[in-house]
Structure 1
Amino acid sequence: MTAATWNMEAPQSHPHYNIVIPVLNRVDTLAATLRSCTSQSGDDIGIIVSDNLSEDGSGEIAEAFAREDSRIEVVRPPRRLGQARHWEFALKHVRRGFFILLGADDALLPDSVSRVRALTALYPEVQAFHGVYPPMYTYPEVGNSHAGHLTLSLSPLLETRSSAEWLRRLLEGEGSVLDLPFAYGMAG
């Protein structure tokens, strides 16, 4: 699921959009995830697949997609990392622009990056966009109660927040850490 989009540099007139996909043993879903990413239009998109030394063929799927689409870069840590460290490793490969963190068992809806592109044009001063309940499809192979379902929020919300103000509120006990953008979260 795409939960947050951050800009890694100062606002720019033509930002770059990086889709970062940390993966560990997701041979069952990775091809569908990558198809959803490569279907996004624009030459301002990069796709970083960070293979955490998968043992199930996920790395080979990523490499095959990279041979077909020059926007894809496959990276690997020198040794297998825990989830948080692997995400940090993957994010270190973002060189410029915004990033979208996407699970290897998730997918982007058609024109997702175009919608983010429109938001960055509308709000060029904003450094982070965060979707609390982004549209989410759960692959049937996942095997939980949401398997094979598309979850959509029917209440579109757009709110601009001052990070300094919301951090102050948090420190003064007036809010929750969940009021702040975070890189990856589950829609409830």
Structure 2
Amino acid sequence: MQRVDVVIPCYNYAHFLQESVESALSQAGVDVRVLILDDCSPDNTPEVGKALASRDDRVTYRRHTTNMGHIATYNEGIDWAGGDLFLLLSADDYLLPGSLGRAAELMRTYPNVGMAFGNALIAEPDGNASRADPLGDNVRPMQVLSGPQFIRLSGASNLVPTPTAVVRTALQKQVGGYRKELPHAGDMEMWLRLASHADVGFIKEDQAVYRRHASNMSLQYYGENILSDLLQRKKAFDALFSQTTDSLKKDQTLRRFLARELGNKALQQAGIAFNNFDLATAAAIQRFALEVSPELRNSLPCFKLACKQMIGPKYWYALKSIARRAAGCMRRNRVSSSASTGTTVGS
């Protein structure tokens, strides 16, 4: 039976901690150890953590005397891990039954797989749930991707729901810990780094639940912070090509593809900034996009943004309003015409 070491970093999540720990301890088909790393939480995390450790000798509780931040806490967990497999599980997330067993089975079946991930359920603040389904429906129950395949699928996004990511401990130790200079793109950079050394497995099952709430939500638009996020993603790509295998270092096609993906994402964010009347941020993000991928200068997204900037947000919204009304009139006229002639719209 494979051993999975689960590290649960916790800061101010005492009210979620028990569910997170018990979701790991209850996993079937694997031998589990849990390390709770309390990053000097001001709530009652010590009380909850010590109680959990006293009830089950598979649980260890550690508390920092000062707040060290999430990157240092993650890396402490990596140093502690010694089992066959390793998982970082935030204290506000939890595993679904059988998830670790499925990951262990995939990695036992495919020795070249260094990391496995799967679907996740997202618990929304309003009580509803949605699904993070990274590869869609057209995949096998267990899918193996080569490293370059995974990197292309990821593009400029974080493809992996973090609480589902199970890694071979030996590979995690080999590639090293999280980078302190990438506090917001650390997960994405880590998946790319792992994929540059091994295949990646995907499990078409709901593996974990990720809670989205006020203290961990990333707003769709967050002003100047988005430029910092985009810069960190570029640094993640730079790190990938500077410290990866020789074959990836020489893959200029992949390098251009990722640059274009990041540039397109930046242009999308520039459009969002423009729509929020933040013209300075929109212009700064647009400059970043074209620095990353100059070929986007002649792309449709760049042309559209340039038109919006030329017209200005006030008149752009006026034109959009007129276009929406015109489209509505055309639809109503089609319905009216079809009704009078006895035909069906779209036939």
Give the alignment's TM-score, normalised by structure 1. 0.70
1:111 and 2:91 equivalent?
no
* Separation in 1, partners of 2:257, 2:4: 30
Aligned to 1:122: 109
Q: Take 1:18 and 1:26, find their aligned partners in 2: how far apart are those partners? A: 20
For the 8 Å contact 2:6–2:32, the answer to whether it is kept is: yes
TM-score of the pair, normalised by structure 2 = 0.40
Aligned identity (percent) is 24
Pair 1:45-2:32 in alignment: yes
Q: Is the 2:4–2:30 contact (alpha carbons within 8 Å) kept by the matching residues of 1?
A: no
Residue identity in the other structure for 2:78: L
> Which residue number corresponds to residue 81 of structure 1?
68
Q: Which residue number in structure 1 is paired with residue 131 of structure 2?
A: 151
Structure 2 letter corresponding to 1:135: A
Cα distance, 1:102 vs structure 2? 0.9
More helix by share: 2
Task: Give the distance between the partners of 1:100 and 1:135, measured in 2 at CA.
Answer: 15
The answer as to 2:7 corresponding to 1:27 is no
Q: Secondary structure at 1:74's aligned position in 2?
A: strand
1:161 equivalent among 146, 156, 164? 146
Task: Return 157-166 or 52-61, whichever deviates more.
Answer: 157-166
Structure-2 separation of matches of 1:43 and 1:71: 13
Partner Cα separation in structure 1 for residue 53 and residue 62 of structure 2: 11
- For 1:52 and 1:23, the matched residues in 2 are separated by 6
Native 8 Å contact 2:113 2:144 kept in 1: no
Question: Which SS does the other structure have where 1:110 is aligned?
Answer: coil
Q: Answer whether contact 2:38 2:63 (CA < 8 A) is retained.
A: yes
Q: Which sits farther off after the overlay, 156-165 or 84-93?
A: 156-165
Superposed CA offset, 1:147-183 (max 9, x none): 4425253525623314359951796314549xxxxxx
Indicate if the aligned counterparts of 1:38 and 1:69 stay in contact, CA closer than 8 A.
no
> Aligned partners of 1:127 and 1:101: how far apart in 2?
15
From the CA coordinates, give the structure whose radius of gyration is larger: 2
Match of 2:48 in 1: 61
**C-alpha deviation, 1:72, in angstroms:** 1.0
1:95 aligns with 2:75: no
- Equivalents in 1 of 2:5, 2:197: separation in Å? 26
For residue 42 of structure 1, report the CA deviation from its aligned partner: 4.7
Higher RCO structure, 1 or 2 (CA under 8 Å, sep 6+) = 1
Distance, in Å, in 1 between the alignment partners of 2:71 and 2:47 is: 23
Paired residues of 1:66 and 1:74 also in contact (CA < 8 A): yes
> How far off is 1:43 after superposition?
5.8
Aligned AA (2:20): T
Report the secondary structure of 2:6's partner residue.
strand
Change (3 A) 1:43 1:121: closer
Q: Within 2, Cα distance between the matches of 1:73 and 1:42?
A: 21
Deviation at 1:123, TM superposition (A): 1.0
Question: Alpha-carbon deviation of 1:15?
Answer: 3.5
Looking at structure 2, the residues matched to 103 and 117 of structure 1 have their Cα atoms a distance apart, in angstroms, of: 20
Equivalent pairs counted in the alignment come to 158
Q: 1:84 to 1:114 in 2, by over 3 A?
A: same
Structure 1 gap segments, 5+ residues each: 1-13, 178-188
